Copies of this chain bind each other. A is one copy, B any other.
Amino acid sequence: MTDLTIGVDIGGSKIAAALVDESGRVVARADRTTPRRTTAPRVVEDTVVDAVSELRSSHAVIAVGVGAAGFVDATGTRVMFAPHLSWRDEPLGERLQERLGLPVTVDNDANTALWAEHRFGAARDTEDVVLITLGTGIGGAILVGGKGYRGHGGMAGEFGHTRVVPDGRPCECGRTGCWEQYCSGKALARFAREAGRDLAGPDLATAARAGDIVAQGAFTEVGRWLGVGLANVIAALDPSLVVVGGGVSAAGELLLAPARQALSGALVAADHRAIPPLHIAALGADAGMIGAADLARIGH
């Protein structure tokens, strides 16, 4: 039997853990609710230990990988800052390693998701890739020459907090005009609400497919901002492929069609270059967890 690793995705609302085999297949799952933002870091740790212990009770495991919605340092051990959790310079990797008695790697959740898409999903056989995840906010990750690019301090890929509108909408990060204020699940719901539809993302997608022009308009607007922001990302990085994931990406072409149109208008030298294709992520909500498990296997 193949060696198994555990992948853990620590998000703002859910902690998803799974046993994963070397082909990226999920063998068993254990999900938990993320403790509230005001809770001490120790409680999040307890929750992860609990989920991992459940999975280990039935299978032998060689390592644990964690993808966390936060800024992880370049050594893959400390979470420097997590907007949706109470962590500030938290030695999550070391603490879990001590408590679990297993090797533990920690990375940003978008980095682990991109790794999963590269190994098993939409970015197989592609070496220079950007991943944009559209959830509550924007997550981003960069693959260079088939390797995750994390930057000097481990904080590369924070495209969501690049400024696209001077003196624009206030952002949770404390600044204004951040891309994720115009292009995210939150922005989608706001565009719809401002036009009279008080629906959340999945319901908006259903309404849009049923012909609701307000819901369609909200996707068009988020898609347009996706294209405009991607023009900046592509001018900077010139990837061969852009993968779009996260909950909002389930809308597929409702989102990508206006994004492609805006991108071709906004990208410098668009007539003199190959514009990278935009693909929807293949692994859905499991990507972060599967990628974390695979990185733990490789690190091990």
Contacts and interface: CB of A to CB of B under 8 A. Distances in A.
Interface of A: 71, 80-81, 88-89, 128, 140, 142, 144, 149-159, 161-166, 173, 175, 178, 228, 231-233, 235-240, 265-266, 268-269, 272-274, 276
Residue of A153, A158, A231, A236 with most chain B CB atoms under a 10 A cut-off: A236
A140 B235 CA distance: 10
Contacts of A80: 269, 272-273
Given A236-B158, A238-B153, A71 B166 contact: no
B163 A166 contact: no
Nearest to A150: B238
Contact of A273 (B153, B162, B166): B153
Contacts of A153: 238, 240, 273-274
A153 B234 CA distance: 11
Contact of A162 (B152, B154, B236, B274): B236
Given A80-B269, A152-B276, A236 B164 contact: no
List the 6 closest A-B pairs by CB distance, nearest first: A151-B238, A161-B268, A152-B240, A81-B272, A162-B232, A156-B238
B128 A71 contact: no
19 contacts: A71-B272, A71-B273, A80-B269, A81-B269, A140-B236, A151-B237, A152-B239, A152-B240, A152-B274, A153-B240, A153-B273, A156-B238, A158-B238, A158-B268, A158-B269, A161-B268, A163-B228, A175-B265, A175-B266
A273 to B, nearest CB: 5
Given A156-B238, A173-B268, 5 more contacts: A152-B274, A159-B236, A161-B269, A178-B268, A233-B236
A236 B239 CA distance: 13
